[in-house]
Amino acid sequence: MSMAEHDTAAIDWDLLYETARDARLKAYAPYSTFLVGAALLTEDGEIVPGCNVENRSYGLCICAERTAVATAVAAGKKTFRAIAVVTDTSPPASPCGMCRETLTEFCDGDTPVLMADLDGERVIKPLRELHPDPFQWPENIPKGS
């Protein structure tokens, strides 16, 4: 599916942004104080929010994007049309490598990713531009083996 086929004009980017911005305020980030909000648009039009949740053992932290993905999957949603990520940085921050890889598990490369800050600066890029060479399961190893 190309980015045009994702029909980005039909996406309510303002609502997606507002959902991610509001989720950002719920973040638990006492160590970095870097609050991040995300909002996933599911194939059926539902918007699933997520925020980052830190832990004193940094390896246990979960990013806003992965929180949204995990929440959506737990609700039975596994196909996404778009994602918004909101931070208080200019230029707007993009998803980290782990989040990019997670998104490629559920989204095709043309899925639009909105990166925005609190002042209204917005950048939209296709996922493949952010993560051009995602991990591919080896063809010679059956899944589930």
Q: Is the pLDDT of residue 2 over 70?
A: no
Q: Are 44 and 35 in contact (CB under 8 A)?
A: no
Return the half-sphere exposure (C-beta side, CA atoms, 13 A cut-off) of residue 124. Answer: 17
The set of residues, in sequence order, having a beta carbon less than 8 Å from that of 93 and lying 6+ positions away, is 36, 85, 87, 115
Whether pTM exceeds 0.85: yes
Closest CA to 86 of 95, 99, 97: 95
Does position 130 have pLDDT exceeding 60, yes or no? yes
In the predicted structure, residue 47 carries a pLDDT above the cut 70: yes
HSE of 5 in the Cβ direction (CA atoms, 13 Å)?
A: 7
Distance separating alpha carbons of residues 39 and 89, to the nearest angstrom: 17
Active-site residue list: 65
Q: Can you read off the two tokens belonging to residue 24? A: 């950002």
Rounded distance between C-alpha atoms, residue 99 and residue 78, angstroms: 15
Q: What is the pLDDT of residues 67-97, one digit of tens each?
A: 999 999 999 999 999 999 999 999 999 999 9
Give me the CATH topology for the region 8-130.
Answer: Cytidine Deaminase; domain 2 (3.40.140)
Average pLDDT over every residue of 58-64: 95
Cα separation, 136 vs 121, whole angstroms:
33
What is the per-residue pLDDT for 9? 80
CA nearest neighbour of 102 among 141, 140, 57, 70: 70
Tell me the average pLDDT of the chain: 94
Mean pLDDT of 13-20: 98
